[in-house]
Structure 1
């Protein structure tokens, strides 16, 4: 009696442990096919174990018959275990293209036998044993029972052989140990299952199904493999589909004619096409003709291409880098082409900004060297005059001129320090409201009302962008005479650009000076502030112009291209 109680307890313990283990494994990687199959196997095994437990708790014929029928779908536990082993070892039957074969050879027979068990007594029947009471017995003389037994034995032996073969093929290390442990677990299930399915009934012994002892052993072995040897972590046989699905770069597998066979979600997002719509399309429909021709020529001639830049049609200014390589079949023939597509728009924008900055710094170096050279020549001349005629009538004027020249040199050097910072740091997305607030906070309080009414947007600009707002505000206050108010607004244009306008109520700018005020050295003060402003903006393609009316006030319009501004949360550049 104690042994019987222990055997029944194994059913319940097995149900609890397999359920918990299945949930744990699934939670490690819900998107993994192997993990999902393991969960399915453990859940059906739990269902089977609970059915067996309640069957042996039933007191009469009706109870035993009910739970016998209720647990008829135990055959699906076997099917899921076999499918799990095939997927775990990377067997060809587990591939998507062979799914129909797997369903026909494994799942349909399992469901068919379950339905036969529910609606007939030709496989299992309820009988009375003087010692054990009501029990269920296999109808060993019936062909259906014999067929089901043969099916279960064959598929489990097949799973065991696949697992053992994978173990023997694996190189020494964690993968080999994982396969060995899985094989041992399968062997335990087969061994204890054979005892209850064939050996004990042949000896006339009626007891709870010992297969649950095997399932319990299998669960313990799997738990040990998870904890000690990293089971269900990415493995060579199962990692590739998961990696392809999750990599941020677009991946396309095409035939030798450029017809897409499969592609990942990143590629679909990059090209703005639904993932399901990519198979069957031509690669040539997604990338520019010149780039496609160059790729096909390179892979045909050399077998691979490391980097080909292209601008995607219909994707604004999205720039991509495409790498491609020939995929060979097992016989060494060309089976297709794999393409890796990477969005390098941000990188190209930074490269362009750096190139422009270097060009402007080079120009500045030439201009500064020339201007300071002239100023030093003038300074030397004034100092020479002073040295020759220290007390003469012109000495004071020469001294004043020398001091003025020295101040100009100082201003040129200060401007150079600011200018050399342009493009040193990569442009970044910056909140427009914060840039203006910083600029306003840096200005002296001189009674001018500054009203900012800009949209909550971000602009892609050089790190000195705050200097732009400051220079425009400071320039207005310095030169606008009777200025009392400055209004800063934003307006989106039909072409997608954004105009940031600085309007004041001062005297305005004469028409003939509207462009000159942005040139180097022009102006009443240093002649450098607005020139610096234009150069900072130009790093990321932002323009500036004075569009006000003389006598009615100045208006500086900063025009931001559509790729250089965005609302918070949007993707830009």
Structure 2
């Protein structure tokens, strides 16, 4: 019976490894250029390796072999760092990801705990044989293990909160359905890990580790989201999203109440704001004059669409930027009005060129007036000289 249980739990780990390996490659080849797919691939590969070392550990034939596979699992913290990175990309936290400090905060602890687990023999005991195979226990008073567990569940909780916030904020119903499965997928290993590898080892309670198996739940949920809701798939929607993020003109999506729902990188770069500073704010905040924003809002409501309305953005530092604004209303399938989309083209250079042209034309007109005035004066003076010559009985000097 003891041997059968070892085989069963070892197979759980092996199955988890295979599933993670399969889904990681499957998602990656859906779109090999997309960063989200790449990070999910790295997540799945790290989980597959973790589950495989757990498989080898559980059915090891000797303590020496068990120790080897136990130490080979030292990279497990990266399996917790990748999900947070994945969630930051998935929830479109572009402003956060632009900050290099973000990557330090995500991956530096994983690096420290990985090599701490390998090099510092004060976190866990040597492998101990249990009915499910070789396992480990936490050494009493191991502060490093406690710190690592706090980090693990902080990272997991933060990733879950990001997913929930994204679900509540996202506009698209399709994205909401995707988010449901991503949140569910992340919830399974977090909850399972807490009850099997969180507080039980600290309390010296003997429970089989099931976290790697639970992570297959994440893969299954993501797999369902791929097949049913086109998550990670290269579709017209993802193409449109990439176009929006790479276009030179500024773009904003506003709901029917005039509240900004989404902006692209060009607008953020132009005005100097972060995404969090703009999203959720009234549209009028972007314009140099509040009335301009109200006028645009009225144009949307009255005309449904309009082109080349010249106005000014106001940057975070208070500078004005000349733009040509065009937009159109957004309706869902049943025709219900839900908001509008606007595109602002920076015409600052054109305005400067127009101003310079006007200055040159004005300067030319002044010169022309001076020149014409001089010619008329010379003609008048020549006439007066000829008249004086006639009075003096002399031959006119300029008459023809």
Q: Give the TM-score taking structure 2 as reference length.
A: 0.59
User: Is 1:71 aligned to 2:73, yes or no?
Assistant: yes
Query: Cα distance 1:59–1:190, how it changes in 2: closer, same or farther (>3 A)?
Result: same
Q: After the TM superposition, which of the residue ranges 129-138 and 184-193 deviates more from structure 2?
A: 129-138
Assess if the C-alpha contact under 8 Å between 1:189 and 1:214 holds in 2.
yes
Cross-structure match for 1:12: 14
Partner of 1:30: 32
Q: Is the 8 A contact 2:10 2:56 kept in 1?
A: no
Match of 2:60 in 1: 58
CA contact (8 A) 2:88 2:162 kept: yes
Where do residues 153-552 of structure 1 align in structure 2 (5 Å cutoff)? Answer: 153-171=153-171, 173-202=173-202, 204-206=204-206, 208-233=208-233, 242-243=242-243, 251=248
Taking the aligned partners of 2:39 and 2:312, their CA distance within structure 1 comes to 33
> In the alignment, what sits opposite 2:141?
141
CA shift digits 1:218-238 (9 cap, x unpaired): 111111111111212479998
Give the Cα–Cα distance (whole angstroms) in 1 for the partners of residues 39 and 311 of structure 2.
33
Q: In structure 2, what is the Cα distance between the partners aligned to 1:197 and 1:184? A: 20
Closer/same/farther in 2, CA of residues 58 and 335 from structure 1, 3 Å limit: farther
Partners of 1:336 and 1:122 in 2: how far apart? 63
Check conservation: 2:19, 2:216, Cα contact below 8 A.
yes
- CA displacement at 1:196 relative to structure 2: 2.1
Secondary structure (helix, strand or coil) at the match of 1:71 reads helix
Task: Give, in angstroms, the shift of residue 57 of structure 1.
Answer: 2.1
Contact 2:182 2:221 in 1 (8 A): yes
Contact 2:196–2:210 (8 Å) recurs in 1:
yes
**Taking structure 1 as reference, are residues 43 and 236 closer, same or farther at Cα in structure 2, changes over 3 Å only?**
same
Q: In 2, Cα distance between the equivalents of 1:161 and 1:85?
A: 10
For the residue of structure 1 that corresponds to 2:214, the secondary structure is helix
Measure, in 2, the Cα distance between the counterparts of 1:335 and 1:137. 63
- CA distance in 2 between counterparts of 1:196 and 1:169 reads 33
Distance 1:8 1:323, change over 3 A: farther
Give the one of 40, 43, 46 matched to 2:45: 43
Relative to structure 1, the CA distance from residue 220 to residue 330 in structure 2 (aligned partners, 3 Å threshold; closer, same or farther) is farther
Q: Is the CA contact (8 Å cut-off) linking 2:51 and 2:213 kept in structure 1?
A: no
Structure possessing the higher radius of gyration over alpha carbons: 1
CA shift at 1:103, angstroms? 1.9
Change (3 A) 1:78 1:236: farther
CA contact (8 A) 2:313 2:320 kept: yes
Task: Tell me which of 84, 87, 105 is aligned to 2:86.
Answer: 84
Question: Could you say if the C-alpha distance between residues 240 and 112 of structure 1 is closer, same or farther in structure 2, counting changes exceeding 3 Å?
Answer: farther
Is residue 185–residue 222 contact of structure 1 (8 Å, CA) maintained in 2? yes
**Cα offset for 1:13?**
1.2
Contact 1:37 1:83 in 2 (8 A): yes
Deviations 1:432-477 (A, max 9, x none): xxxxxxxxxxxxxxxxxxxxxxxxxxxxxxxxxxxxxxxxxxxxxx
Unpaired segments ≥5 residues, structure 2:
251-264, 270-291, 294-307, 324-343, 348-400
Question: How much has 1:326 moved relative to structure 2?
Answer: 6.3
Q: Which structure ranks higher in relative contact order (CA pairs < 8 Å, sequence separation ≥ 6)?
A: 2
Please state which structure has a larger fraction of its residues in helix: 2
Does 1:122 find its partner at 2:83? no
Q: Is the 8 A contact 2:59 2:134 kept in 1?
A: no
Matching residue of 2:23: 21
Distance 1:45 1:132, change over 3 A: closer
In the TM superposition, residue 15 of structure 1 has moved relative to its aligned partner by: 1.3
Kept after mapping to 1: 8 A contact 2:5/2:132:
no
| Structure 1 residue 195 displacement after superposition | 2.0
Report the CA distance between 1:327 and its aligned residue: 6.1
Deviation, structure 1 residue 114: 0.3
In 1, are the aligned partners of 2:74 and 2:117 still within 8 Å (CA)? Answer: yes
Contact 2:67 2:127 in 1 (8 A): no
Mapped partners of 2:61, 2:237: distance in 1: 49
Judged with a 3 Å threshold, the aligned counterparts in structure 2 of structure 1 residues 35 and 328 are, in CA distance, closer, same or farther, namely farther
Query: Partners of 2:163 and 2:237 in 1: how far apart?
Result: 13
Gaps of 5+ in 1: 254-261, 264-278, 280-301, 304-321, 342-573
| Cα distance in structure 2, aligned partners of 1:140 and 1:239 | 54
Distance 2:309 2:125 in 1: 64
Find the residue that maps to 2:231 and give its secondary structure.
coil
Name the SS of the counterpart of 1:209 in structure 2: coil
TM-score (norm 1): 0.43
